[in-house]
Each structure stands twice: as structure tokens, then as C-alpha cells.
Amino acid sequence: MKLFLVVPCYNEEAVLPETARRLREKYDGLMAAGKISPDSRIVLVNDGSRDRTWEIIRELHAADPTFRGICLSRNKGHQNALMAGLMTVRHECDAAISLDADLQDDINAIDAMVDKFAEGYDVIYGVRSSRKKDSFFKRTTAQGFYKLMRAMGVETVYNHADYRLMSRRALDALAEFPEVNLFLRGIVPLVGFRSTEVTYERGVRAAGESKYPLKKMLAFALEGITSMSIRPIRLITTLGCLIFTVSLGMLIYSLIRYFTGHTVAGWTFLSVSIWGLGGIQLLAIGVIGEYIGKIYLETKRRPKYIVSEYLGGDEE
Ligand code: UDP
Ligand code: MG
């Protein structure tokens, strides 16, 4: 099996030499055990780093052809760097594993992923069994993130980041998703095929600093929701319906107050207007939103289906 590793690197000069050494060691082991073929590669994607990351990648490649380098023209973010790597190598490999450059995701899980691939799985998610080594802040915000995703109707694998194996045909299917707003954790489940999980313990960053400060995490969460779900729009519609119903109640209540004489002049008219108009306006925004949501989903040009097998399809 020809396995490619795709590693996005953004300002990772501090950790890259160590990562490269550890990954090479892992590859040696897997090759010696005959689990992966000798022409498997480790592909380092430089995401517009400002430090020596690309020089290090060049040196690695010059010294050892197992390492390959892809340099993006500028910083495009983690998700795009990943996609660039996966899409560049997909024609050559049997499967590709994406993982971060900082060794937080245990590379020993690669063995289990390769075994599962041999069993016939197309997508194998790396799932964190515990986040004890993450800071309290990172842990709570990250878990809040997964819960929010679910509440907003985005199907994701709990505690899975972007550490996963995808077979060649799963990668080909992923290529059918031409969207620009990329949230891979939400798209990969849509790709389908047989999938399973491999658990590992998440470690601490081997060196260097996190490239995901809170600001980027929030932006990422927002991207995830708005690129995968139109539930927020639906919430407005629901709210509109609710307030409109309340306004009908208000109408009855105001009329009762009016006829029983418990009111000042003009109050009935004003209160009914406020509730009625507010409700109708929200409802109208919701209806428009529903159409915008439809337009939005259409513009993504996602595949309507992906065929995984066609028995007898090769008859000539
Ligand atoms: N990364 C990237 N481009 C960016 C930000 C991050 O390619 O704009 C890479 C980074 O080099 C690392 C991975 O994405 O390999 C995950 O980043 P990090 O480990 O800093 O995130 P954290 O684990 O703290 O969430
Ligand atoms: Mg990390």
C-alpha cells in the first residue's frame, strides 16, 4: 500500500526537524514490517510561512526523497493547506493521512489506521480519547465548539480534528466538493463510504506555539456553522412564527382590555401593531432567508450522490 502523509506547516521551524525525524522513523518501521510500500511519501505543505519552514522542507527533500514539499504562494489557512496537499497527491497514492506538524496527534495511531485500511475502510477518523494534556481553556473551548456544531446541525465526529486517513476513492469524492469555504470536518462525513474510528491520546505540542489563537478558533467555528448549515436561518423563521402567534394572543388580550375599559386611548392599537408587525417582519425575513439558504446550498455545487460500487458496470 502506497501511503502518503500530508502535513500542513505554518511557521513550524521550531518543531519541523523533530517531526520529520519522528515521521521518518515511523515510516521505516512500517516499511520494514511490509505494511506500506517503499515509495510512500511524506508531503510537507508550507502554508506561506514567514520563518525558515520552507528552507527546512527543501533541505529535507534534498537529503531524502521520501520527503516532498509543496509551497503555497501565501498563507491560506490550515484547511486550505490540507486540501492543497491532499488534492496534489491523490492521483499517486492508495491512501493519504493528514496530520498536524506539531505531533500533538499520536503518530502511533498510523499503524492502526493502516490496519483498518487493509480491512477495507475508506475513511478512518483519528479520535482523541482524552484531552488531559490540553490546557483547561483549550479543552473547554474545543469541546464547546463540537457541541455548538452539533446544535447547529453540522454533522461532525466528536473529538476528531483533521487527523484522518482517506482512501484514494474517498479523496476523489472529496474533490467533487468544489466549495471555497472549506470546513473539512463537516465535508468528510458527507463523502460517505465505510468509515471507522481509531482512538489516541492527544499530547502536547512538541515545540513552537499554537497557530490557533482564540480569535482564529472563533472564526473557524463560525466558518464551520455558516458553511455547513442553514439552521441559523431556520431559527429566525421559527422565532418569527412564535412571535406572530404571540401577537394573535396579544390581539385578543388587547381587545378584552379595550372592551372592559381597562386601557388608555391608543394603547390597543399600538400594542397590537408592535407585536403584529414585529412578528410579520421576522417571518418575512425568515422566508427570504429560506430562499437565500437554498441559493447558498445550490452555489456550493456539491455532488448529489457518490457511487461507491456498481456491480456489472464494467461490462463492455
Ligand atoms: N496551520 C496552517 N496554516 C495556518 C495555521 C495553522 O497550515 O494558517 C497548521 C499548523 O502548522 C499545524 C496545524 O495547522 O500543523 C494545526 O495548528 P496548531 O497545532 O497550531 O493548532 P492547535 O493544535 O493549537 O489547535
Ligand atoms: Mg496543534
pLDDT of 175 over the 90 cut:
yes
DSSP at 103: S
Between these two residues, 198 and 216, which has the higher pLDDT value? 198
How far apart are alpha carbons 187 and 93 in whole angstroms? 21
How far apart are alpha carbons 45 and 57 in whole angstroms? 9
Give the ligand at the shortest distance from the Cα of 7: 1
pLDDT of 171 over the 80 cut:
yes
Cβ–ligand 1 distance for 210 under 6 Å, the answer yes
Q: What is the reported pLDDT for 214?
A: 80
- Residue pLDDT, tens place only, 43-82: 999 999 999 999 999 999 999 999 999 999 999 989 999 9
CA 82 to ligand 1: nearest atom = 7
Query: 211 CA distance to ligand 2 centroid (A)?
Result: 7
Strand partners, 97: 5, 165
Q: What is the reported pLDDT for 151?
A: 87
Cβ–ligand 1 distance for 102 under 6 Å, the answer yes
Query: 217 CA distance to ligand 2 centroid (A)?
Result: 12
Q: What is the reported pLDDT for 268?
A: 80
Q: Which of 37-46, 150-159, 287-296 has the lowest mean pLDDT?
A: 150-159
pLDDT of 39 over the 90 cut:
yes
How far apart are alpha carbons 22 and 107 in whole angstroms? 8
- Residue pLDDT, tens place only, 235-274: 888 888 888 888 888 888 888 888 888 778 787 888 888 8
pTM for the whole structure: 0.80
User: Are the CB atoms for 184 and 82 separated by under 8 Å?
Assistant: yes
